Amino acid sequence: MESDKSNAELLDSWPSYEESLEEWHKRSDERRWFSAWIENDFTTDVLKKITLPVNEDGLRHLDVGSGEGKACCELLEVTLKQHPKVVCRSVEPMAGEQQKFKDLVKERDLGGVTFEFVEQTTEEYEKRPNVAADKKFHLITLLQMIIVVDDIEKTIMHYHDNEMEKGSVMVITLAADETPTRLCEPIVAELQKVQLKFSADVRQVLERNHLNYTQKLIPYRIDVTNCFDDSSRQGELLLEMVTIVPEFGKRAGSDVKKKVLDVLESCSKTENDKIYATFGFDIPLPKDIALADDRMKKKYYGNNVKVFLHQWREGNDHNRSKVKTLEVSYPERRKQRERNRFSASSF
């Protein structure tokens, strides 16, 4: 790795970040899958598990790494059907992305939402001086931002310990382990500005904190045709997002680029003269457990759409709730791989 830079320094050193992100969204159907989860499952999987009382000010929602706000707005639209008043605090370090969020709010029917916009990285936000006195949140969402945080466990446990209380729910979404981005990491490690985090890293944090879960993989596709065209600016921008390497086209040698393209090709198929690479996100499904020690006297849930979801409730080892049996449908190849993994270790 070139250097041990922070999240903020990564963004500062990535002049085309917003342009690259826009190209990623344009070529990907990731949002379609996320929107389907919001429409079909968000109320059941998340909102109905919030038991922290909601006062006259409304449900408090903290969204960290909001970007341009499209995902957050979709969540809010569904939330308003259950809670007519919502206070949404958005934490986003990129001024341009936050302005897009503010512009989007004007276009959406979100009249019941009071917004608080904070222009900071998560690390800056976690160190704010009034954190202890601040009101707790009913819902915390960390959507696709964990991948570049400075300290994944510190960040997750900060929100767990300082921003939540009994009856709150936190949702974490993150790329699956076997995406092209993860497979390319050994190839481009010397060029990356930060140590990337993936689903396995979140699992380790959850396991250390005694969160049991099962999971399934939901794939989505990206049109990477332009990545194989050396003259394509769009292809260069996509490769920056695939590898999380700023200015990849300028900084990567021909040998490194060839290896990255080989990985993309191995994860792709051609349809109608277009090349589609398969990416994916993990969906942890709930396992209800109760823990005995004082710090962990809660029930946890893991769930959904690139999502790790957990909820605070009281409980102990002598008074466990019944665990619901959930059927998980895996693609056949991954099913066998998961059987092998589960036989070697228990999550």
Instruction: Tell me the pLDDT tens digit for each residue of 63-85.
Output: 999 999 999 999 999 999 999 99
Interval 239-275: pLDDT, tens: 999 999 999 999 999 999 999 999 999 999 999 999 9
User: Using alpha carbons only, how large is the chain's radius of gyration in Å?
Assistant: 20
φ and ψ of 53, to 5 deg: -55, 140
260 vs 343: which has the higher pLDDT: 260
Q: pLDDT at position 293, please? A: 30
- In percent, the amount of the chain with pLDDT more than 90 equals 44
Amino acid letter for position 316: N
Q: Is the Cβ–Cβ distance between 136 and 163 less than 8 Å?
A: yes
* pLDDT at 12 > cutoff 50: yes
Q: pLDDT at position 75, please? A: 95
Q: pLDDT at position 124, please? A: 94
92 vs 281: which has the higher pLDDT: 92
Local structure of residue 130 (DSSP, 8 states): T
Q: pLDDT at position 8, please? A: 57
Q: Is the Cβ–Cβ distance between 283 and 306 less than 8 Å?
A: yes
Tell me the pairing of strands 213-223 and 268-271.
Answer: unpaired
Interval 163-182: pLDDT, tens: 998 888 888 887 777 789 98
User: Residue 28 — very low, low, confident or very high, per pLDDT cuts 50/70/90?
Assistant: very high
* pLDDT at 230 > cutoff 60: yes
Helix residue spans in the chain (DSSP H) = 7-12, 17-27, 30-45, 70-82, 95-107, 122-126, 152-162, 180-188, 199-208, 233-243, 248-251, 254-266, 332-344
The overall average pLDDT reported for the chain is 78
Q: pLDDT at position 44, please? A: 82
60 vs 143: which has the higher pLDDT: 60
Q: pLDDT at position 58, please? A: 97
Count of residues in the chain? 347
Task: Find the range with the poorest average confidence among 9-13, 130-134, 156-160, 219-223.
Answer: 9-13
- In the predicted model, what is the mean pLDDT of residues 184-189? 91
Pick from 52, 2, 7: nearest CA to 313: 52
* pLDDT at 33 > cutoff 60: yes
